[in-house]
Structure 1
Amino acid sequence: MTSRSSVTTARASSEARAVARTQTLLKGTNGIGTVRRTVLPGGLRVVTETLPSVRSATFGIWANVGSRDETPTLNGATHYLEHLLFKGTAKRSALDISAAIDAVGGEMNAFTAKEYTCYYARVLDTDLPLAIDVVCDMLTGSLITAEDVDAERGVILEEIAMTEDDPGDCVHDLFAHTMLGDTPLGRPVLGTVDTINALDRGRIARFYKKHYDPTHLVVAAAGNIDHATVVRQVRKAFERADALSRTDAVPVAPRHGSRKLRTAGRVELLNRKTEQAHVVLGVPGLARTDERRWALGVLNAALGGGMSSRLFQEVREKRGLAYSVYSYTSGFADCGLFGVYAGCRPSQVHDVLKICRDELDRVASEGLNDEEIGRAIGQLCGSTVLGLEDTGALMNRIGKSELCWGDQMSVDDMLARMAQVTPDDVRAVADEVLGHRPSLSVIGPLKDKQADRLEEAVS
């Protein structure tokens, strides 16, 4: 007769084995481009893409945490923590971490966004075990000492100052605030001088413990690699830190939701003594899960995505009013933004804004012609393929896809989806997105009369 405890133990063991089962998500040709996923006990996901023809490999760990997960008083904590994980573990000092990768000619870095953070190292394929060990050690064994917190504070304050000295960069943070207000998505990823000065070791350590659980992480590797070997090495590194002890844990689901942005006609001006006026004129966009995002991508490419785009031709080529002018989209889990940026002489700001607004209105009401749409689809397909020609880009694609969508799409499927966009699809999304009354963000040395006229661009 089997005891209840034996049945329970057997069931737990079976569940652990099931969690660790490996899936082939995308089948490549002759092993090239094959994407596999393994979910380890503890809820840690490992995804890889094999590319035997290269001699490099990129290894990264994606954390499902960004600046939108911060309270007002914690603004900047995610990015602060990104810095601190490079400062040392029980096994390695900060110098040991950087020297280990430098010694093999590799590169290591990290970035923080509004909805995720990524740490990565790119090395020769023969040095991949070293990269795995170093990056996993950073993510699981960071000391986060009070001394490091205080030392790194000055570095982050300098980074904030550097960003504020670049109005072409800073205006995008201002635009996010204009559109999203004092919300987690509307606040800057870097935080502010006040919030960074107020953060201490205890608050950052608690933030780390909450958001860097294995269930919130995705390990991604691409290049000349073997999936089973990567899984084995990752598992060993995480088990060494006792990070996979919860055998019943399951990965967190991708973010989801539906947030309607009703911001319209807002104008924010940051008056600074700059040589140029930097402007972003924009409207609510689409969430990253919205199927219409493919059509919006085509619209964006045709409107302001290249040298043949309408905005580039009208503002720069025909009138010479700006050196840099482009449109862009930002998609989040529950909403999105569509913006048009231009940098111009302060005396020309109203002419530039009028042209941009006229083009937005014209495309919203009339759509784009078939030639523009065909050219935009070709541009997107070409840039997608060219942008995936190194292992770092491949790692980013599979890691972000797993974290944000929970699945993988092959490059061929992506190209096919873009090619399926019809002129009617683009016209419909243009009417839906560009039909909103826009809002405006400006940084520059505008005089009172010029500032008073900014409302014209959004009326």
Structure 2
Amino acid sequence: MSPLQRSEAAIRISRLPNGLTVATEGIPGVETATLGVWVAAGSRNEREEEHGLSHLIEHMAFKGTERRSARRIAEDIENVGGEINAATSTEFTSYTARVLGQDIELAIDVLGDILTKSVFDATELAREKNVILQEYASIEDSPDDVVADAFMEKAFSGQAIGRPILGRPETITSFEAGIIRAFMAREYTPARMVFAAAGQVDHGRVLDAVATTLGGIPAAQAPEPAQGAYTGGERRMRRKLEQASLMIGLPGVSFRDPSYFATHIFAQALGGGLTSRLWHEVRETRGLAYSIDAFHWPFTDCGLFGIGAGTSAADLPALVDVVTATARQAAQGIEPAELARARAQLKVAMLAALETPGGRIDRAARQLLAWGRIIPAEETIAHVDAVTVEEVRAAGARTLAGPPTVAAIGPIKGLQPLRDIAAAFAA
């Protein structure tokens, strides 16, 4: 049995009576414990008037509970040398901590406290909304961030899945404690929650502590988010900048789709490294951009394929021509050597992420929420190794046949019309 297989054999999974899942993995030789709660609710679960609420809740998590002030939350964790954090994405929100193994009960108590007993004090809420408005302003000053938000909004036009996670000033300023509590009661249900821990952990200790702190959350049926549907479209923002930032998108696939691995490998071969086709043609051969990459973002029920780069106003038309031609050529002619390299790169990235307790609990929580089980690394590697050249070419052809998304900012007067870009991919 390999070290990875031994590690995965040590994973234990239990479910509390209210439906919350608890997963632990003891890792020999590790003195710390990394643990946290993942909730299958993110920005795509928000109604229009709730835009940005998930992110605000993440910010408010550490701002005081019925038992602890904001100061005490930080002190209780940092007094034992620990750290605590939270993050919001399109489909998930997580609350995590890292402490010594001897302090897991304390960390679980703090995490349970902030998820079940937060007071959302009006003064703290006003202060944190202002912090988020400052964060929003900083993003507006970053062309790369602005174009990325516009890219998602146009790829999934008119849908929550495409809206920026931060929200908008008009929605951010409208939130009050009652709205937060209503959202959490609706979306933070035990069946949508996984508590995962790895490192120096004992399953029984973790299970008992989680049952005490989170076992009282009432079981409830949460509404399913609206089905995501790729639309395509464009947003062009002409600004006086030194460079044009450009993102071109095409329809991707869900991580549940049979062609998921082939689509991911196509993105890797096209623009996933220094040996990729786009890097070679755009950067090394023609010098049209400092960097360029292709990516595939899968979600539960849809996906987004994209290419991103920055270039000068003079080189922008040539960059688009090279990108579309290179992508078309890749879809028609990915070679076995490219497939082998992309496979290896994906496997290294996946296995490297599993070499830390944080990476292991993130994998465990997300897979339990998505699949109801933890998928062994060997099973995923087998899927990657089974992908054929023909499947990668077919995935590339399907991707390029979809309607494009274009988001661009800066000196972009010379950027080709959307219909011409679509025709170039399909040629």
Q: What's 1:382 paired with?
A: 348
Classify 1:122/1:274 alpha carbon distance in 2 versus 1 (closer, same or farther; 3 Å).
farther
- Alignment RMSD, CA only? 2.2
Classify 1:297/1:453 alpha carbon distance in 2 versus 1 (closer, same or farther; 3 Å).
closer
Q: What's 2:399 paired with?
A: 433
2:198 corresponds to 1:233:
no
2:357 corresponds to 1:391:
yes
Classify 1:98/1:324 alpha carbon distance in 2 versus 1 (closer, same or farther; 3 Å).
farther
Q: Tell me the CA shift for residue 209 of structure 1.
A: 2.0
Decide which structure has the larger Cα Rg and report it.
1
Query: In percent, how many aligned pairs have the same letter?
Result: 37
Amino acid at match of 1:295: A
Match for 1:274 among 241, 248, 263?
Answer: 241
Classify 1:222/1:252 alpha carbon distance in 2 versus 1 (closer, same or farther; 3 Å).
farther
Classify 1:30/1:412 alpha carbon distance in 2 versus 1 (closer, same or farther; 3 Å).
closer
Q: Tell me the CA shift for residue 145 of structure 1.
A: 2.0
2:52 corresponds to 1:52:
no
2:278 corresponds to 1:314:
no
Q: Deviations over 1:397-429 (max 9, x none)?
A: 001111122221111221122111111211121
* Contact 2:234 2:418 survives alignment (8 Å): yes
Match for 2:271 among 293, 301, 304?
Answer: 304
SS of equivalent residue, structure 1 residue 407: coil
Q: Tell me the CA shift for residue 105 of structure 1.
A: 2.7
SS of equivalent residue, structure 2 residue 315: helix
Q: What's 1:457 paired with?
A: 421
Q: What's 1:121 paired with?
A: 97
Counterpart CA distance in 2 for 1:112 and 1:373 is 33
* Contact 1:48 1:221 survives alignment (8 Å): yes
Q: Tell me the CA shift for residue 85 of structure 1.
A: 1.3
Q: What's 1:15 paired with?
A: none
Q: Tell me the CA shift for residue 258 of structure 1.
A: 6.3
SS of equivalent residue, structure 2 residue 250: strand
Classify 1:140/1:302 alpha carbon distance in 2 versus 1 (closer, same or farther; 3 Å).
same
Q: What's 1:356 paired with?
A: 323
Amino acid at match of 1:39: R
Q: Tell me the CA shift for residue 33 of structure 1.
A: 4.8
Q: What's 2:53 paired with?
A: 77
Counterpart CA distance in 2 for 1:277 and 1:145 is 43
Q: What's 1:211 paired with?
A: 187
Counterpart CA distance in 2 for 1:60 and 1:330 is 24
Q: What's 1:21 paired with?
A: none
Amino acid at match of 2:288: L
2:139 corresponds to 1:163:
yes
Q: What's 1:370 paired with?
A: 336
Q: Tell me the CA shift for residue 236 of structure 1.
A: 1.6
Amino acid at match of 1:317: E
* Contact 1:278 1:342 survives alignment (8 Å): yes
Q: Tell me the CA shift for residue 45 of structure 1.
A: 1.0
Amino acid at match of 1:69: N
Name which of structure 1's ranges 157-166 and 336-345 shifts more when overlaid on structure 2: 157-166
2:129 corresponds to 1:153:
yes
SS of equivalent residue, structure 2 residue 164: coil
SS of equivalent residue, structure 1 residue 198: coil
Q: What's 1:6 paired with?
A: none
Gaps of 5+ in 1: 1-26
Counterpart CA distance in 1 for 2:99 and 2:326 is 46
Q: Tell me the CA shift for residue 55 of structure 1.
A: 1.9
Counterpart CA distance in 2 for 1:281 and 1:452 is 12
Where do residues 22-101 of structure 1 align in structure 2 (5 Å cutoff)? 33-101=9-77
Classify 1:169/1:259 alpha carbon distance in 2 versus 1 (closer, same or farther; 3 Å).
closer
SS of equivalent residue, structure 1 residue 313: helix
Q: What's 1:10 paired with?
A: none
Amino acid at match of 2:182: R
Classify 1:139/1:162 alpha carbon distance in 2 versus 1 (closer, same or farther; 3 Å).
same
Q: Deviations over 1:298-328 (max 9, x none)?
A: 1111111111111111111112221221011
Gaps of 5+ in 2: none
The TM-score normalised by the length of structure 2 is 0.93
Amino acid at match of 1:419: D
Classify 1:412/1:31 alpha carbon distance in 2 versus 1 (closer, same or farther; 3 Å).
closer
Classify 1:341/1:452 alpha carbon distance in 2 versus 1 (closer, same or farther; 3 Å).
closer
* Contact 1:32 1:50 survives alignment (8 Å): no
Q: What's 1:190 paired with?
A: 166
Q: Deviations over 1:367-409 (max 9, x none)?
A: 3011100111011111211122111111100011111222211
* Contact 1:63 1:216 survives alignment (8 Å): yes
Q: Tell me the CA shift for residue 58 of structure 1.
A: 1.0
Q: Tell me the CA shift for residue 52 of structure 1.
A: 1.7
Counterpart CA distance in 2 for 1:128 and 1:322 is 48
Q: Deviations over 1:115-139 (max 9, x none)?
A: 1111101222222222211111111
The TM-score normalised by the length of structure 1 is 0.86
Q: Tell me the CA shift for residue 251 of structure 1.
A: 7.9
Counterpart CA distance in 2 for 1:369 and 1:256 is 39
